[in-house]
């Protein structure tokens, strides 16, 4: 996992700044801080990096999606188009506000299909939550056009794609709001954490208030701040922000290493005509966190995954069987097994989650394998991995041809 490979002196320095002041809370206590505002500084640097006008750090990628929903005024009974291939947190973020997730097929970008979005729109559809899955972009220009034509709110879940772009514009900045995640398994990590970005000041203010019990953060006396809206606690801490800040300052190095290493891996796999690669609308904008590729059919994909495991090739994801990233394995969602009461409007869904099927998406997922791209591989390690990949794939695919 990229950022977690680089925990070091920089993170310790930022954390020690906070510990020396004793102020772990992200707001107020101006005098005791000695000038250290880790969450505010991180937000400023994230906004600059993404090109967004505003950024707000929060407690997780899940709460970031929920903040996007709240900031846009989406909630009870609103129909929201979502992908069946994403981390379950995307769906949880939608459900937290009482909205209705409506699942729509993906295409070979591994993200929502523009054609499937068009086909799924009804008068009840209010928004699209577009997930830029596995580090790269959807057909974002076409999806933006569809949302504009139908007056739909576009929310980008960019949890796995910090630093990825389309034609020079950062993912997460095409919609009304964008969400990021900084948990342990993301491009940069704070251990836990998330953020939203937006160019709309009112969206930012809405999220800022909602994330902190409705506080308007005007003045220096927390006890006397106004509360224009009801909210909840989606705040981050200065400790998490400190780690995220050190990590963000490494992002250019992380992206450069990922892209270099992915290029080498892709060249190795490209020698096999049976292998095709994920469609990237803008290859230059790929964050290169994963190398995602397709085999001709499910049987071959499973054989390759098995051979990789038997030969010690790690970092392999066969998402079709993954319990947390694909709808066919979400038994809790299919049965709506929750510890909170599901609003009646949410249960009046246009899809039966228990039985809904996605044959077009299945046909993609059954053939899909993703490899995690590490940034700390040495040249020797990368050479050894490429040689092993060539050896294993030659064995599996040659035997199949015979």
Q: What is the spatial distance between Cα 68 and Cα 319, in angstroms, rounded to a whole number?
A: 26
Calculate mean pLDDT across residues 40-56. 98
Q: Can you give the CATH number for the domain in which 223 is found?
A: 3.40.640.10
Query: CB–CB of 304/369 below 8 Å?
Result: yes
- Could you tell me which residues are beta bridge partners of residue 371? 291, 316
Calculate mean pLDDT across residues 284-311. 97
- Percent helix, strand and coil across the chain, each to the nearest 5: 45, 15, 40
Calculate mean pLDDT across residues 228-247. 97
Same domain, yes or no, for 279 and 291? yes
Same domain, yes or no, for 117 and 223? yes
Residue 314: exposure state from Cβ atoms within 10 A (0-12, 13-18, ≥19): exposed
Q: Can you give the CATH number for the domain in which 341 is found?
A: 3.90.1150.10
End of a domain among 251, 270, 285? Answer: 251
Calculate mean pLDDT across residues 218-230. 89
Same domain, yes or no, for 99 and 203? yes
Same domain, yes or no, for 15 and 71? yes
Residue-level pLDDT at 220: 82
End of a domain among 251, 269, 303? Answer: 251
Same domain, yes or no, for 257 and 246? no
Same domain, yes or no, for 304 and 314? yes
Same domain, yes or no, for 15 and 153? yes
The domain tally of the chain equals: 2
End of a domain among 236, 251, 266? Answer: 251
Same domain, yes or no, for 163 and 286? no
**DSSP per-residue codes, 53-75:** SEEEEES-HHHHHHHHHHHTT--
In this predicted model, what pLDDT tens digit does every residue of 318-356 receive, in sequence order? Answer: 999 998 899 999 998 888 888 876 665 555 677 888 899
Same domain, yes or no, for 182 and 286? no
Same domain, yes or no, for 276 and 383? yes
In this predicted model, what pLDDT tens digit does every residue of 114-150 receive, in sequence order? Answer: 999 999 999 999 999 999 999 999 999 999 999 999 9
Domain of residue 337: give its range: 252-401
Higher pLDDT: 247 or 219? It is 247
Same domain, yes or no, for 306 and 176? no
Residue-level pLDDT at 343: 61
Residue-level pLDDT at 221: 84
Residue-level pLDDT at 349: 72
């Amino acid at each position: 996992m990229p950022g977690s490979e680089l925990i070091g002196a920089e993170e310790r320095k930022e954390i020690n700044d906070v510990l020396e002041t004793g102020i772990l809370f992200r707001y107020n206590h101006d005098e005791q801080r000695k000038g250290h505002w880790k969450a505010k500084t991180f937000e400023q640097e994230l906004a600059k990096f993404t090109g967004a006008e505003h950024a707000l750090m929060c407690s997780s990628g899940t709460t970031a999606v929920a903040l996007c929903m709240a900031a846009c005024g989406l909630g009870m009974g609103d129909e929201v188009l979502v992908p069946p291939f994403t981390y379950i947190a995307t769906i949880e973020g939608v459900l937290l506000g009482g909205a209705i997730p409506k699942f729509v097929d993906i295409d070979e970008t591994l993200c929502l299909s523009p054609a499937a979005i068009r086909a799924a729109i009804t008068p009840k559809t209010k928004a699209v939550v577009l997930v830029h899955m596995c580090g790269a972009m959807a057909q974002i220009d076409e999806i933006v056009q569809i949302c504009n034509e139908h007056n739909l709110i576009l929310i980008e879940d960019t949890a796995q794609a910090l630093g990825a772009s389309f034609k020079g514009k950062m993912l997460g900045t095409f919609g009304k709001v964008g969400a990021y995640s900084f948990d342990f398994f993301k491009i940069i990590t704070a251990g836990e954490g998330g953020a939203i970005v937006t160019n709309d000041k009112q969206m930012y203010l809405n999220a800022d208030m909602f994330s902190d019990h409705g506080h308007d953060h005007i003045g220096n006396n927390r006890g006397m701040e106004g509360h224009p809206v009801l909210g909840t606690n989606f705040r981050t801490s200065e400790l998490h922000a400190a780690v995220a800040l050190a990590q963000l300052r490494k992002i250019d190095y992380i992206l450069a290493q990922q892209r270099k290493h992915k290029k080498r891996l892709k060249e190795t796999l490209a020698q096999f005509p049976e292998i095709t690669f994920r469609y990237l609308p803008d290859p230059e904008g790929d964050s290169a966190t994963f190398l995602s590729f397709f085999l001709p059919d499910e049987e071959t994909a499973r054989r390759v995954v098995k051979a990789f495991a038997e030969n010690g090739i790690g970092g392999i994801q066969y998402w079709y069987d993954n319990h947390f990233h694909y709808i066919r394995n979400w038994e809790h969602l299919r049965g709506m097994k929750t510890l909170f009461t599901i609003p009646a409007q949410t249960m009046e869904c246009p899809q039966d989650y228990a039985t809904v099927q996605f044959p077009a998406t299945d046909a993609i997922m059954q053939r899909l394998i993703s490899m995690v791209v590490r940034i700390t591989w040495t040249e020797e390690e990368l050479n050894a991995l490429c040689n092993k990949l060539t050896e294993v794939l030659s064995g599996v695919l040659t035997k199949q041809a015979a």
